[in-house]
Amino acid sequence: MTPSATTSNGNTVPVKADTIKNRAVILSKIDDITVQDWPLKLDSYRDSPLYVPGSPLPSGTALVRIRAGGICGSDIHFWKEGRAGPDIIKEPFIIGHEAAGEVIQVADDVKSWAPGDRAAIKPCLPCLA
């Protein structure tokens, strides 16, 4: 299945991996960290809805503007030692998976969150944050 997104007029369109990018901290090898506009690996999200600015949110979702992201001990091990436990740097990847921000939009069926609420993102779950 090709990743797709719903536009503001309700049409579903295919999305190429290089069309959506996030600003991210990239670790390429020991002591080599850069900030880049990094393409999302959409093949990991084949069955996940993608958000296109201006379109309605998919049922059960909220859009969070990330205000802060953190790195943890495992990120520091990767940065300084090239590994964390059994995991070794094999290719550049995004470090930092602990994020917090502000809810800016909720789907019509979401009642437990509202724009302006503060949100913490549970780390280690695949998402587009």
Q: Which pTM does this prediction carry? A: 0.62
Instruction: Please give the domain boundaries of the chain with CATH numbers for all domains.
Output: 23-121 (3.90.180.10)
Alpha helix ranges (H) inside the chain: 73-81
Q: How many residues does the structure list for the chain?
A: 129
CA 94 to chain centre: 10
pLDDT at 126 over 50: no
* Distance (Å, whole) CA 14 – CA 70: 32
pLDDT at 40 over 80: no
pLDDT given for residue 9 in this prediction: 62
- Report the 10 Å Cβ neighbour count for 70: 11
